[in-house]
Amino acid sequence: MEAVKLPKSKDIYKLALDFDKVLGLSLDKVTAPAPEKIDVPEDVAALAEARLAAKKEKNWAEADRLRNEISVRGYVIKDTKDGYVIEKA
C-alpha cells in the first residue's frame, strides 16, 4: 500500500478512515498520549532560556553549545513553534 508512504494529506487521512470502516480498528478515535510532565532542574531551565536567547540573536554556535550542556545533564531540548520542550533523555 503506497498511500502510507506518501506525505500527509487530507485525502490519505480520508482513505485510511475508509479502510478503517472495513477493518474496524476505530482509528478515528485514537488520540496521542499526553506528554509526561517532568520536573526540570533550574540549571537546565536556565540553559534552555539562554539557548532560546542565543537563537533569537542568531548565535548558532552558542545555541549548539547550550544544547550540548543540556544533553550532558541528561535532558533533550526540542524546538517548537512556541519555543521549546525539555524532555528527559
pLDDT of residue 68: 97
pLDDT of residue 42: 96
Q: What is the mean pLDDT of each successive set of 10 residues along the chain, which is 89 residues long?
A: 67 81 80 77 96 96 97 95 91
CA proximity to 49, closest of 74, 69, 28, 27: 69
SS3 36: coil
pLDDT of residue 4: 59
CA distance 73 to 88: 9
pLDDT of residue 31: 77
